[in-house]
Amino acid sequence: MARTSHQRYVEIMRDVEDLINDHIAHQNRGTASRSKLKLLVPTVGTFFTPLLLAEAFTYQDQRRRISSRRFVPPSFNDIRLTLNSAQIMSLVRAGPLHLVTFDGDVTLYDDGDSLTAENPVISRILGLLERGIKVAIVTAAGYTESEKYHGRLYGLLDAMRAAVIERRLEKPNLVVMGGESNYLFVFNSEAEYCLEYVPRQMWLLDAMRLWSEEDIAALLDVAEAALKECVNNLGLSADVLRKERAVGIVPSIGSTVRFTREQLEETVLVTQQVVDMSAGKTIPFCAFNGGNDIFVDIGDKSWGVLACQRYFGGIQGSQTLHIGDQFLSAGANDFKARLACTTAWIASPAETVDLLDELALHDKERVDR
């Protein structure tokens, strides 16, 4: 029974793989709007690479024994992990992979935590850097000082500094893009807090240079008013936090209650719509649910990833992988990265570690071959 199920699932995966290949052929001819896949899934985006779905399913089936289950059919998580494997296999096969970008909260460390010295992701990121792969942490967390980012990421930054001093790592390429697409810092083992601020003029994309300070302030004013109205209407115990490039609400100081999912989602959707209808036409923005806070940031992770790709000399979307946890289309900030590169959707820091191990395994197989 398991063998028959496996064969049937693999056939389905191969069919979807073919649909994607056909869509890519249409993309290359400029007729993506007429592909069969587009008709079946109108919201489907641009594919940067094919997806080796049949092979990836076999890999995940060995680990998760999907075909051996009698009552529980392939689940959302089975499919999500199969897609991640397929993306990684394709990236390695078409290779080389040049840039991996990571979200922060939930992807590298638990929500609201920091990347501490014992985090198992550190050795995996050092592995990427040793193999010459560039790394960017593209996070919503928006600070202007390197000290704050060091406070969140010190486990990794200190390990990198030690590796450089001990000559285990030569010229590692790592940047931190904060506030989605607003603050760029580059790793420098000799800099205070291991990070050097890169002035905006050195990395802004041409389109971003058109975002005027007045328009930015006007957008944040509208967003702030919308957030305050939600706080009032929903009776939230929340403080408004206004920054240079963002505005958000966080639980009131001293309050231990968590916002409910309904409160968070309603606030994101209302704010998104209010800003969309007024200020959002001139400047891109990202309203998202951060788990127990809500932020509206100027720009979004597609701009953040694109700016990193350019900063590193023009890396393509098909050579870049963004790993994040927020890919539901409403109120999720990693979703936008899909416009700039290939993506993997993880659900916990442990899954990120598994994914990086899988990447290293396929990489090694390619080199051995």
Q: How far is the CB of 103 from ligand IMP (least distance, A)?
A: 5
Q: Are 49 and 87 in contact (CB under 8 A)?
A: yes
Q: Which does 295 bind (CB under 5 to 8 A by kind): ligand IMP, Mg ion, none?
A: ligand IMP
Closest CA to 138 of 284, 356, 302: 302
Whole-number Å distance between alpha carbons of 299 and 329? 16
Q: Work out which of 141, 159, 222, 323 binds ligand IMP, going by CB under 6 A.
A: 141
Q: Which does 179 bind (CB under 5 to 8 A by kind): Mg ion, ligand IMP, none?
A: ligand IMP
Closest CA to 357 of 155, 84, 153: 84
* Residue 105 among the catalytic residues: yes
Nearer to Mg ion, 102 or 211 (CB): 102
Q: Are 97 and 131 in contact (CB under 8 A)?
A: no
Q: Work out which of 80, 148, 228, 243 binds ligand IMP, going by CB under 6 A.
A: 243
Show the binding pattern over residues 69-108: x = contacts Mg ion (CB under 5 A), - = does not: ----------------------------------x-xx--
Closest CA to 344 of 361, 323, 362: 323
Q: Work out which of 105, 351, 358, 363 binds ligand IMP, going by CB under 6 A.
A: 105
Q: How far is CA 45 from CA 48, 136, 177, 304, 343, in A?
A: 10, 23, 24, 19, 12
Residue 191, exposed/middle/buried by CB under 10 A (0-12, 13-18, 19+)?
middle
Measured between alpha carbons, how far apart are the two ends of the chain, in Å? 34
Q: How far is the CB of 29 from ligand IMP (least distance, A)?
A: 36
User: Which range, of 104-112, 120-128, 157-165, 355-363, touches ligand IMP by CB under 6 A?
Assistant: 104-112
| Residues forming the site for ligand IMP (CB under 6 A) | 103-106, 139-142, 179, 243, 246, 248, 290-291, 293, 295, 297, 333
Active site residues: 103, 105
